[in-house]
Amino acid sequence: MERLRRSPVTAILFGINLTLFLSEELFRFFFDCSLFPYLALSRDGLAGGGWWQFVTHAFLHGNLLHLVVNMVALWFTGPLLEELLGSLRYLLLYLGGAVFGGLLQTLVTPGSIDLVGASGSVCALLVGFGTLFPNLQITALIFFVIPVNMKASMLGWLVIVGSLLFWFLGIERQIGHLAHLGGGIAGFVICFFYKKLGWVQQISELPPPIPR
């Protein structure tokens, strides 16, 4: 928990995600109603003036596994990026991934379908980290089980190319691949400018980069 105490924005993001997940479960169980019509992102919701859904959809999740996967990714990337970027720039990166990922998914997907999940934000963090430290060696857990050593930039490319390929081939259509893609693109663009503007702190604990 010390890690979260040093990362207040990440702790707040965890708290909001968990609170809304539990609230949704309680609303469904006790009142047979849902927060999705008001907080999930959909074309119908936007047409009705619900522009807040570009942000709020990223704090709702369809089931416990959906929540756990996103929160594990946030746990591994959030605290370090918050320290590197500072609280405000880190929060803008997180929300930028949510907004752009939600926009791309909603624009391209026909019909009005509820979009929920922090995946766009998480993909922004993953790609953003790879953009800031492209030659840094990391160990990624494929399927959260198989450890694979790679450059941080490779993880970013896996997010971008994998999301695009899965969407193009129609694999797991119930997953918002374009939200992942949009979040990843947002992460690259935002962190590219952060890096160019010198808005990234140096942390001595980071291991040396892989030689080119």
- The model carries a pTM of 0.92
Question: Residue 58 has what DSSP assignment?
Answer: G
pLDDT at 209: 46
Which percentage of the chain shows pLDDT scores above 70? 92
Torsion of CA 179, 66, 2, 202, to 10 degrees: -20
* CATH T-level fold of 2-196: Rhomboid-like fold (1.20.1540)
Give every CB contact of residue 88 below 8 A, 6+ residues apart in sequence. none
pLDDT at position 204, please?
55
Q: Residues 163-189: pLDDT tens digits?
A: 999 999 999 988 999 999 999 999 999
For 188-197, the pLDDT digits (tens) are: 999 999 999 9
